[in-house]
Structure 1
Amino acid sequence: MPYLVLARKYRPRSFADVVEQGHVTQTLRNALSSGRVAHAMLFAGPRGTGKTTIARILARALNCEAGPGPDPCNRCRSCLDLLAGRGADVYEIDGASNNNVDQIRELRENLKYLPAHSRYKIYIIDEVHMLSASAFNALLKTLEEPPAHVLFFFATTEAHKIPATILSRCQRFDLRRIPAAALVEHLGSVCRSEGVRVDPQGLEAIAREAEGSVRDALSLLDQVLSGGEPEVGAEQVLETLGLVDRRRLHELLSACLAGETAPFLSAIEDLYGRGHDLKKLYAELLALLRDLWVLRGSREGDRLVDRLPAERRELEALAARFPEETVESALEAFFREEASVRLSASPRLAVEMAFFRWRRSRGVLSIERLMEHLEALRASLAGDGEPVRDGGESGPAPATPPASSPTARPAAPPARGLEAWQEVIARLAEEFPSVAAALRRARLVAAGPERVEIDPGESDFLRQSLVREKPLAALRRVCAEVFGGAPEIVIAGGGSPAPAPSRSRRDRRAAVQETMNHPLIAEAIQLFNGRLIDVAVNPEEDA
């Protein structure tokens, strides 16, 4: 007798044997018990998750001589014939090779004949999405009102390719990928039944490679056991299947995130020399980066990352070593290069170039950080005072007027007024951050519901800003909200804000030259590695 592969030998014979599809099998068992089985059903899901298997079990349960019941007996003539693949009333059709309209018309002609010796004539069409448009159209009327003795069960991996007119005539059941832990448990059960022992880490490697498919997992296990040895180690599993050791892959990921060139290139050289597919390796690296990013930034990482416990702990330890921004930036950079690696004729060079591009971009400032530096420089240039620190707060500025001032200044407002003034500045910063930064260096002379007096000191920028209509209106509105009433804004030594005289051409040239020679401009050029192209006077300030 020829050898029966594990995927066929351990095909489930009842709904209870189906792995991790309880949401489908329980619904079908209830439908069988209550006699509410639809005449057309569609089973959709990834490969190897049990679509055709469930359709076969359902067909046996419907035609079982002891039924129909929630499970087939697997002992009567009908059940045994179907298990042996010789059932006369259950037709299993491959949609990929029987996809033209003539074959569907022939099928439709045979529907009028009653079953040979079973309760129902059942048609199981696998990969139904491969039928042509004409074949689907020929099936429409029959699918909507089939004879009472005919049932249709469809299976597909690409339900989106099936016309909506077909989908609307079927009950749809979506099958899920099998979690890695459930696959490991199922493979362990098969190994015990076969009388062999496979290292748990080897079973984990098979489960990862199967990507949620029971059939793929059993086929890989069959390949591993083909050597006939009673005990198989993890290293033998990796060598037989050509898989990458997870520890090696984690070392590669760590070197990548750290930007360490020598370890990364050495790992790529070693894996390339062992004959591993670098395109597949890159896809695994992307998947690890995604899981690392989820574990680093989400509170539901355990639910969103389908990894075995040991590997999840390793990823969590790795995630703790790097900031979330680094992981996110690496994922974005490597995902951007995914198409280049996948389509490249030289995948090794493509992977190395992707790493070098990521390594080069690690020192680049983010947009948010860049804007903070620009705002700090702009506020410092405007106030001609101490630069704003990274935290956004200005440095200390002199608040005491010169002793030779001819006009006596009122006493400083009480602490409560200063707290309210800080609130005014904070609100104004949402609309005019540079004006708010200049106000932090100004001195508050008086504050109340009728009058707010500000001493800008040596800041011409603040004086000119409060002449402009929009900043002044915003300051009045915020002061009214904080102090109440409708306070008048007064500039100490200058009365109420009034339009400033227009600059002469000579003054504008002097301002431009002063700006170009300012030390902070040189600092900005050095900070951003740029060059000064032009300086323009704000037309609103010049008006």
Structure 2
Amino acid sequence: MDETTAGTPPNDEPALPGFPPAPAPPAQGAYRVLARKYRPRTFDDLIGQEAMVRTLSNAFETGRIPQAWMLTGVRGVGKTTTARILARGLNYQTADGGGGPTIHMPALGVHCEAIMESRHVDVLEMDAASHTGIDDVRQIIDGIRYSPVSARYKVYIIDEVHMLSEKAFNAFLKTLEEPPPHAKFIFATTEIRKVPVTILSRCQRFDLRRIDADKLVAHLARICEAEGVRAEQEALAAIARAAEGSARDSLSLLDQAIAHGAGVVKAETVRDMLGLADRTQVIDLFEAVMRGDVPAAFANLRTQYDSGADPAVVLSDLAAFSHTVTRLKLIPEAAKDPALSEAERSRGLDFARGLPVRALSRAWQILLKGIPEVQGSNRPVAAAEMVLVRLAYAADLPTPDEALRALRDGTPLPAGGPAPASPSSSSASPPTSSGNMALASSQPRPQPRPDVRSAAPAVRLRRFEDVVALAGEKREIVLKAALEREVRLVRFEEGSIELSLAEGGSRTIANDLARALQQWTGQRWMVALSTEQGAPTLHEQALAAERERREGAASHPLVQAVLAKFPGAQIVNVIERKPDEQASDAETGILGEADAMAAHETEADDDLD
């Protein structure tokens, strides 16, 4: 069952804002887990599903109520709970007989209690995981013909509907498309792709979102306050991260943490309970591997392992922190995320200022491939250490294009070993008290290579026309012709070109051009095909310019006079004169209009003779 939690304290406890009164408590000695105790009872109690609530509210207010809903999402986001609240809203009726379908239910109605406790005769819940056959669906089809006993609608809630067999789905089709007016269907599933499209097309679909970590933390804090439990903010954040957007999972973990800590929820007890790594130690491990201090990284990993942390979980947390640093580097506003601890925020910003994106991206790739190796190894600590070695020695290796340029220019490449995270002196630079990263290791390392990226490229191409001209200089006639006639320029920057294809253009032009540019300039160019229209091709531009010159020449009085003098004459070519030549002609007065006219007439007479 799926529950989004924001519910109710027992009747003997004072009601808090957001927690409506609950039904009578169970028998003495029976314990209700938090996931059931604080289960939502109205749409106002749902957290993280505002879009769905707004849509349902508008539908109920305008009377546009469909015959079937499909609720989908990961486990624990509130699918079954939403289905019960929806059934309660459809059958809401006050004690005096008033009310109608609504999502606003300020007080318990006649049918509300029985519906929320899943014991109402007109609201039938079926678990499709255990009732998968066509016979189970036939029972629903046979019973749907009869009117409800006491409620307004007969509501059928089918959980995990994707588990139904193909024949069961087919038996549903006709009834689902044209049900009796007193019947409503609510389906819930975690595997929406397994539901036939013929079923989906007959339902109004709602995708329930994972609940944001900050909302989960605030929700857990309210529940701890209602339960009289002291909880550290870092502990609640760790529970929210482990729940991965599932409210039910977060409450189950909180229940376990309260029992584990004897009524007090501390970050240390949550880490011990979940086998998590200490976030501060993860940050120290990240610092050690990024500065190339392998012994310190090994010692840190061994300390966490001895404390009960799973090596695979340590690497997962290390990958998560690498992602955090990358986000902080690219989006500084991410530092305001309430799910980040103060250590992650402050030291993450320090790392973001000192590490290039290339090193962070490569660290992420190494960790992403190393985690499955550790999980599948019979010696997880040794496997994790080898991943740290790869990370320390390969996180700042040159890219292939940098290596090619270094070989071409004759500059030495590193002989191996980790490189400093950013340019610094060769002397050791230990971490400061604030936790800033040491940019160089105290261990001996090879001499750093010159920064070949800072060297100016041999060829500077500032316009697309320069690229076409370079293709002509390199005698790439076929490529030059294709660039002139088959592509339209969308965007051009040094190192990046975006093109769209003209009619009949070859789709391999992008790869051919990228390969040629890397060979000509020694730089890696990104050439991409776009769906945008782009500018006209260079050939089209040349034709348009030629037409414009001809039209301009034809409108000149002198040319018009010549064409009038000689019927049938045509303009064969138009030669543009450079501005300095025009100025020279104007200064010397070589040829005025009258002289030009006389000259043309004389030449024409000579030709006729």
TM-score, with length taken from structure 1 = 0.67
- Correspondence 1:10 to 2:43: no
User: Which aligned pairs between 1:72-471 and structure 2 lie closer than 5 A?
Assistant: 72-226=105-259, 229=262, 231-298=264-331, 301=334, 307-308=339-340, 310=342, 311-362=344-395, 364-376=397-409, 391-392=454-455, 431=471
Deviation at 1:186, TM superposition (A): 0.6
Report if the CA contact (8 A) 1:101-1:132 is conserved. yes
CA deviation string 1:383-425 (max 9, x = no partner)? xxxxx98655599xxxxxxxxxxxxxxxxxxxxxxxx999999
Report if the CA contact (8 A) 1:373-1:390 is conserved. no
Letter in 1 for 2:323: R
Output the aligned Cα RMSD.
3.5
TM-score, with length taken from structure 2 = 0.60
Letter in 2 for 1:324: V
SS in 2 for 1:43: strand
SS in 2 for 1:77: coil
Query: Which whole-Å CA distance do the structure 2 matches of 1:56 and 1:220 have between them?
Result: 24
Deviation at 1:170, TM superposition (A): 1.0
SS in 1 for 2:285: helix
- The aligned counterpart of 1:37 is 65
CA deviation string 1:33-58 (max 9, x = no partner)? 22212111111112211111111111
Report if the CA contact (8 A) 2:88-2:111 is conserved. yes
Change (3 A) 1:61 1:231: same
Q: Percent identity?
A: 39
CA deviation string 1:345-386 (max 9, x = no partner)? 3332322222222333245321221232244359xxxxxxxx
SS in 2 for 1:369: helix
SS in 2 for 1:125: strand
Change (3 A) 1:138 1:282: farther
- Correspondence 1:53 to 2:81: yes
Query: Which whole-Å CA distance do the structure 1 matches of 2:318 and 2:287 have between them?
Result: 11
Report if the CA contact (8 A) 2:405-2:452 is conserved. no
SS in 1 for 2:111: helix
- The aligned counterpart of 2:433 is none
Report if the CA contact (8 A) 1:376-1:392 is conserved. no
Query: Which whole-Å CA distance do the structure 2 matches of 1:222 and 1:43 have between them?
Result: 27
Query: Which whole-Å CA distance do the structure 2 matches of 1:30 and 1:421 have between them?
Result: 57
Letter in 1 for 2:382: L
Change (3 A) 1:14 1:161: same
Report if the CA contact (8 A) 1:72-1:79 is conserved. no
Deviation at 1:101, TM superposition (A): 2.1
CA deviation string 1:311-341 (max 9, x = no partner)? 3444223322322211111112222334323
Report if the CA contact (8 A) 1:14-1:57 is conserved. yes
Query: Which whole-Å CA distance do the structure 1 matches of 2:43 and 2:187 have between them?
Result: 18
- Which structure shows the higher helix fraction? 1
Change (3 A) 1:428 1:76: closer
Change (3 A) 1:232 1:329: closer
Deviation at 1:190, TM superposition (A): 0.7
Is the deviation greater in 39-48 or in 97-106? Answer: 97-106
Query: Which whole-Å CA distance do the structure 2 matches of 1:375 and 1:298 have between them?
Result: 36
Is the deviation greater in 367-376 or in 191-200? Answer: 367-376
Query: Which whole-Å CA distance do the structure 1 matches of 2:58 and 2:224 have between them?
Result: 32
Deviation at 1:255, TM superposition (A): 2.1
Query: Which whole-Å CA distance do the structure 1 matches of 2:340 and 2:286 have between them?
Result: 18
CA deviation string 1:58-114 (max 9, x = no partner)? 100111113222223552230111233311111122121112222222222221122
Deviation at 1:174, TM superposition (A): 1.1
SS in 1 for 2:372: helix
In structure 2, the gaps of 5 or more residues are 1-26, 94-98, 412-450, 476-519, 521-575, 579-609
Change (3 A) 1:181 1:393: closer
SS in 2 for 1:320: helix
Letter in 1 for 2:170: N
User: Which aligned pairs between 1:469-480 and structure 2 lie closer than 5 A?
Assistant: none
SS in 1 for 2:136: helix
Letter in 2 for 1:93: M
Letter in 1 for 2:182: H
Query: Which whole-Å CA distance do the structure 2 matches of 1:423 and 1:186 have between them?
Result: 56
Query: Which whole-Å CA distance do the structure 2 matches of 1:224 and 1:249 have between them?
Result: 22
Query: Which whole-Å CA distance do the structure 1 matches of 2:317 and 2:261 have between them?
Result: 30
In structure 1, the gaps of 5 or more residues are 379-387, 396-419, 436-470, 472-483, 487-543
